[in-house]
Structure 1
Amino acid sequence: MNLPGHFHQAQYPKRARWFMAIVWALITVKCGVVWWAMPHWNMPTHPIWVVGPTLIFATLVTILWLAHREE
């Protein structure tokens, strides 16, 4: 796996960039809803136990997607 220091937009199709933006928007909405819903319905855990892994794995997948190069 190659980890370039910078990313060229031409390397990623416009459709793929839109898809990634929409997915990140959905992740943000999901995290906001979870953060609101858990205290609202008195869940016994803190929302970070759901939001944290979601953001960590989404970030990991995004980094892997950006670092991927077809040779």
Structure 2
Amino acid sequence: KSGNTGLDRNKFRGILHNIFGMTDDTLMDRVFSAFDKDNDNSINVKEWVKGLSVFLRGTFEEKLKLPSF
């Protein structure tokens, strides 16, 4: 996406790998899809904050509601 202010799939995967130690390609793609609520192949600030909130501090029930998990 030209001039985007979000994270594309490759940047997001780099964060998952470098910060969270994820190495499974399928899992990283699923996490990206769960964060990218509007399916535009970019994670904007709102999607990032909401996704991290559930990913890091969400209840078990909230995590179960994430798509693709």
Measured against the shorter chain, the TM-score band is: under 0.3
Q: RCO greater where, 1 or 2, for CA within 8 Å and sep 6 or more?
A: 1
Structure ID, larger Rg: 1
User: Whose helix proportion is higher, 1 or 2?
Assistant: 1
TM-score, scaled relative to structure 1: 0.27
